[in-house]
Structure 1
Amino acid sequence: MHFFALSLATLIIIALAAYAISLHLKLHKRQKEIQKTEQDVAKQITEKQLSARKDIGFLALAYINEQVELAEVSLRISKLAQYLELDEQQQTHYQVFNEVASTIANIPTHKQWKQLSKKDKAAHQRTFKQLEELHTDNAKISAQQIVDLKQRQ
């Protein structure tokens, strides 16, 4: 009887050890999956940031060369800049674009713009003109700083 109890205890210990090893292996596999996912996400974020920087540089250069208006470039740069991790110094380069974008954020675009009355379109165009007059100098300086910064990177 003593032998039977000892054998049963040994079997229980072996079974528990096997179960513990099984759980350990599952945990190790899961940790590797999590680590790979984190690396993939970090890579995607880095790629998105690089793409955003490239696009912002292109937009800033287009604005400097008067190929795009302040309102449009502000909306686009402001949105793309959200993907970047900017320090305080770098944020100052985007401030004017963020200000203009927030001012015109509620103005309809695309299909909704086409549906506006001539009176409403004229009112919004006056807003665009006022923003151009108010912010063009600072926007050109900021755009040039963005282009210069991009070229140094």
Structure 2
Amino acid sequence: MTGLTLAALLAGGLLILALAGYALHLWRRVWAQQRDQAQVEQERHERLGGDLQILASSLLDGQLPLIEGAIRIKVLLDNYDSSLSQDSRCQVFHLLFEATAQVPTHGDWKALDKSVRRQHERHFNELELQHKAAARSAARWLLEEALAPARKRA
């Protein structure tokens, strides 16, 4: 083996080691980023679970109007756990959400003519009479069974 061949092999080996070290450095960054993302997702999940517990409790205590509570719970459930959201015991939240989806909110609600607002309010009252028991039962189920495991872990 000539000196030139030996130098080329040595340079190639050093280049391979340098590239392997850089690859390891990049993989460590990826793993750290994945850990950080998992932690952020876990914190988000815990925060949503806590918010769901507050909303369900408020709905049961009468501190939150049924329609508003159902809409908020449905949206949070969709973000918290889509399979839990699709559970048959939570369908009342979806039903109330869909039944009120066309109702304007915020500034658009205030801009409505009073007679139109009253029509919507009558519709809300009818929906509440029809679905209050089911919504309360679903909220109780969320608190006592569906969200209870998350509360025990915290």
Q: 1:67 to 1:4 in 2, by over 3 A?
A: closer
TM-score (norm 1): 0.76
Tell me the CA shift for residue 115 of structure 1.
Answer: 0.9
Tell me the CA shift for residue 150 of structure 1.
Answer: 6.4
Counterpart of 1:55?
A: 54
Counterpart of 1:34?
A: 33
Q: 1:115 to 1:91 in 2, by over 3 A?
A: same
Alignment partners' CA distance in 2, 1:148 and 1:13: 64
Say which of 138, 142, 145 aligns to 2:141.
145
Percent of aligned pairs with the same amino acid = 24
Counterpart of 2:67?
A: 71
Counterpart of 2:112?
A: 116
Segments of 4+ moved more than 6 angstroms: none
Counterpart of 2:45?
A: 46
Unaligned runs of 5+ in 1: none
Tell me the CA shift for residue 92 of structure 1.
Answer: 2.6
TM-score (norm 2): 0.76
Aligned residues: 149
Alignment partners' CA distance in 1, 2:54 and 2:92: 18
